[in-house]
Structures are given as C-alpha cells and as structure tokens.
C-alpha cells in the first residue's frame, strides 16, 4: 500500500496529513498499528471522502486529526500549524475551527443534559461573550431543522436517531468551524433518514462555508457528497482521486472490489460474484509487501515482497499498486 512519500500532497491545502502513524499498546508489550504512515490533504471548501472496510483505520485517522488521540508519529498541519507540536491549551483553541460529528449520535450526547446545554457546551468551553451564546445556539438548531423553543429543555431519550444526529451537527457548527470531520454520520440511521442528513450536511457546507472530511464504509454514500475520495485498507492509503473519476475508472484492485460490492437497485441485473475473497489480515501481523496481496486476484510475486508507493497514474489520480488498473 501507500509508502511514506508526500509528493502527491498539494501546497496551500487547509489540512495536510503527512506520514500519520497511530499505534495502540497491548498486553505483553505488543502494539497494534491502526494507521501506518498515510498522507492526504483537503483544500479549502472541498469535501474529502475517506472510505474503507470496518477496521481499516479511517475513524482513527479522523480522531487523530482532532488529536484524539495524539498521533504516534507524523504531522497534522491545519491552517499552516502543525497540531502535533501544540500544547493542550493551543489545541483546544484550534478546535474552535476544527470540529467533529461522531459515529453514534445517541451515545455521543450526554443523557442527563438538556438540548440547549448540549449545543452550547462548545461555546462554554471556548469562553467568550456569554450574552450571545443563546442566540448562537438557536441559530445552529434552526439551521439543522429543529425548532429551539420546542426542544430546548428536552433530553436525548426523547428524540429519534435522526434528530439526535441533527443535534450533534448543531453542536459542531455552533462554533462556526472551518473544517468539519464527519465519522460515519449516517451508518446507524434508516435509509430515508440518511438522505435527510446527507442533504443537511450539504446545506451546512454551503451555508457556513465548511470544508469537510466525510468518513464512511459505503462508497455509494461517499460518492454523493465528496469532491475527492481516499480509499484505505488495513491502515494504509491505497488510492486517491476525484469522486467521479474513481467511480468511473478505479486504479487499485481493492477500490474496484469495493465498487463491485455496491448493490445495484435493479432486479434485472444479476448479482455480481463476491469481489474479494477471504477476510482482512490482522493488523497485529500485516502481510509483507502489499497488504492487499492476500486477497487480490491480480497479485504477483512482486506484490508479496515489495510494498508499493503512491504514484500518479493519471493527472490528479494516485494509487499505491504495482499493477494498477489504470495505465
């Protein structure tokens, strides 16, 4: 998969992640490397989709950008400042412009607190003018389609999953951030509610001038909201391309497999064969060479021995593969 090179990163991006590594200690002195040296960037006003199977490290990447947890190695440069070099107080100041919507909208809300207090909490932590706090909260709630006067004093258990997610989005945008990281924001919701939340996020992006990182395991969802897509596998980045181009002509066999697994809502279309055989290897003992070679139908001896590096296969389209599908 991706090597440690950063040549494919663009200058002047709002966010640059360079050679990011995140490790977690285990018993017996062992360590699991959840993210293994990935590099990506997000330009001002862009939405980057970060996609891959469960356990590939995409949510860990989102949290590491927020410094939750602090990365083991690498750089996270936001607005020209390396967040990994900042102290705790400075990181908290930066988070006023860097917010996150977490995966489970219900568990990310404190069940004991009322909606008005939940949405106002980031403003309280940041300090500032308390006289405008209530108006800021009301503005955020109305922006996500909730009537403040009807829900201000209510608690989490009184709302549906979709309503809880709207509250979480309001809590994030109340700070008027520049960058919003959305970690699987629709995975726990019904399909009809998913569409509402996706439309809401698009509206929030336009209304507040947001830049977004949209994390999901569903390529079909990511395509609809992203300008570019980055694909991860077992802690590595394997492909990055504009959304339409990646769906039209994927360069990495893993990306092609993910696209083949997307169901086609047409009963006349026969089901596709299983695109990828087997299960992902354990991150405790990743295979040598390309990490995808144990499941790749195109794997050759070179794939088993040599780790590929990210290289441009066509303008704006990068892949970490010895034998890409796009020449």
Buried b (16+ CB within 10 A) or exposed e, 147-166: ebeebbeebbeebebbbbbb
Q: Does 93 share its domain with 224? A: yes
DSSP codes of every residue in 71-85: -SEEEEEETTEEGGG
Give domain status of residue 295, yes or no.
Answer: yes
Pick 227 or 125 by higher pLDDT.
Answer: 227
**Residue whose tokens read 């949209």:** 214
Q: Does 144 share its domain with 9? A: no
Average pLDDT over residues 86-109: 91
State the chain's mean pLDDT as an integer.
90
Give domain status of residue 217, yes or no.
Answer: yes
Q: What is the pTM of this model?
A: 0.91
Of 129, 148, 176, which residue is a domain's last?
176
Q: CA–CA distance from 125 to each of 36, 119, 122, 220 (Å)? A: 33, 11, 5, 37
Whether omega for the bond prior to residue 69 falls within 30 degrees of 0, making it cis, is yes
Check: CB of residue 152 under 8 Å from CB of residue 115: yes
Of 176, 203, 238, which residue is a domain's last?
176
At 271, the pLDDT band (50, 70, 90 cuts) reads low
Give domain status of residue 202, yes or no.
Answer: no
pLDDT at res. 4 = 47
Pick 28 or 78 by higher pLDDT.
Answer: 78
Q: Does 112 share its domain with 89? A: no
pLDDT at res. 274 = 57
Q: Does 151 share its domain with 185? A: no
Average pLDDT over residues 210-224: 91
Q: Does 256 share its domain with 303? A: yes
Q: What CATH number has the domain bearing residue 87?
A: 3.40.50.300
Q: Which domain holds residue 159?
A: 105-176
Give domain status of residue 206, yes or no.
Answer: no
Please give the structure tokens belonging to residue 74: 């690498």
Average pLDDT over residues 35-43: 95
Q: Does 217 share its domain with 169? A: no
Give domain status of residue 83, yes or no.
Answer: yes
Number of domains, the chain? 2
Check: CB of residue 174 under 8 Å from CB of residue 166: no
Average pLDDT over residues 310-319: 94
Give domain status of residue 201, yes or no.
Answer: no
Q: Does 160 share its domain with 237? A: no
Q: Does 154 share its domain with 282? A: no
Q: Does 188 share its domain with 87? A: yes
Give domain status of residue 86, yes or no.
Answer: yes
Average pLDDT over residues 198-202: 91
Give domain status of residue 197, yes or no.
Answer: no
Q: Does 19 share its domain with 73? A: yes
Q: Does 315 share its domain with 183? A: yes
Residue 1 pLDDT exceeds 60: no
Q: Does 188 share its domain with 289? A: yes
pLDDT in tens, 57-83: 999 999 999 999 899 999 999 999 999
């Amino acid at each position: 998969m991706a090597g440690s090179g950063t040549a494919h990163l663009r200058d002047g991006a709002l966010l640059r992640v360079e050679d990011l590594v995140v490790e977690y200690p285990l018993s017996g002195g062992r360590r699991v490397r959840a993210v293994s040296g990935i590099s990506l960037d997000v330009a001002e006003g862009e939405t980057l989709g970060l996609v891959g199977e469960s356990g590939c490290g995409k949510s860990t990447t989102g949290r590491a950008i927020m410094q939750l947890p602090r990365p083991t190695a690498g750089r996270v440069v936001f607005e020209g400042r390396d967040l990994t070099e900042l102290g705790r107080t400075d990181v908290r100041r930066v988070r006023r412009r860097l917010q996150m919507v977490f995966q489970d909208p219900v568990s990310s809300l404190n069940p004991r607190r009322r909606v008005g207090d939940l949405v106002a909490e980031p403003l309280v932590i940041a300090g500032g003018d308390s006289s405008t706090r209530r108006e800021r909260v009301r503005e955020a709630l109305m922006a996500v389609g909730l009537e403040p006067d009807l829900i201000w004093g209510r608690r989490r258990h009184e709302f549906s999953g979709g309503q809880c997610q709207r509250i979480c989005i309001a809590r994030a945008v109340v700070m008027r951030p520049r960058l919003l990281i959305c970690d699987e924001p629709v995975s726990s919701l019904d399909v009809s509610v998913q569409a509402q939340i996706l439309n809401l996020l698009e509206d929030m992006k336009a209304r507040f001038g947001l830049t977004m990182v949209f994390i999901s395991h569903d390529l079909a969802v990511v395509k609809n909201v992203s300008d570019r897509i980055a694909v991860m596998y077992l802690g590595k980045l394997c492909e990055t391309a504009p959304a339409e181009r990646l769906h039209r002509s994927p360069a990495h066999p893993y990306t092609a497999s993910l696209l083949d697994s997307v169901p086609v809502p047409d009963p006349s279309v026969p089901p596709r064969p299983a695109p990828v055989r087997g299960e992902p290897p354990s991150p405790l003992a990743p295979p040598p060479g390309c990490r995808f070679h144990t499941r790749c139908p195109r794997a050759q001896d070179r794939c088993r021995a040599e780790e590929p590096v990210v290289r441009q296969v066509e303008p704006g389209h990068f892949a970490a593969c010895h034998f890409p599908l796009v020449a």
